[in-house]
Amino acid sequence: MRNLFSILQTIILSLALLMLSITPAISMSLIETKKLAEQGDIDAQLDLGSMYEKGIGVEQDYTKAFSLYQEISGVPQAQYRLGSMYEKGVGVEQNSLKAIYWYQEAAESGVPQAQYRLGSMYEKGDVVRKNIANAKEWFSKSCDNGVLLGCNAYRLLK
């Protein structure tokens, strides 16, 4: 029992030290990312949006994330994130039609996750008219771009 207590103490102390060493790196990364984003760096804006969306190094703030993605809405990955946020209603009022619009924009630009989401929407027919041919097309594209769920969904529709 004493041995177990000693091991747990060591693990907890190690984790605490690890957190202390990571926190300054996250803070520095946040400062640098914010500075670059303010200067118009698209990658930094996308990263900062993701940090706010997931609560990495900052307090989670879907509204800020949504706003950052909107600022760079011509960027395919931002289009995908906008579609996802509209679909789930995080940071913005849920709107399936806007979700489809942004997924379509991103999918046509080659974002595999957006291609998969479109395939799913066409397969289910909840928001758009059910269209198995379109579902297969988008699942196939997502599969070609490395989304295993797209490969599986495509196989199931054959």
What confidence tens digit (pLDDT) does each residue in 89-103 have? 999 999 999 999 999
pLDDT band, very low/low/confident/very high, at 20 (cuts 50, 70, 90) = very low
Rounded Cα distance between 86 and 63, Å, is 12
In 3D space, the residue among 74, 157, 144, 155 whose CA is nearest the CA of residue 115 turns out to be 144
Supply the pLDDT for residue 71: 96
Rounded Cα distance between 17 and 94, Å, is 41
Cβ-count burial 94-110 (b if 16+ within 10 Å, e if not): eeeebbbebbbbbbeee
What confidence tens digit (pLDDT) does each residue in 30-89 have? 888 889 899 999 999 999 999 999 998 899 999 999 999 999 999 999 999 999 999 999
The predicted model scores a pTM of 0.80
- Structural element, H or E, at residue 5: helix 2-38
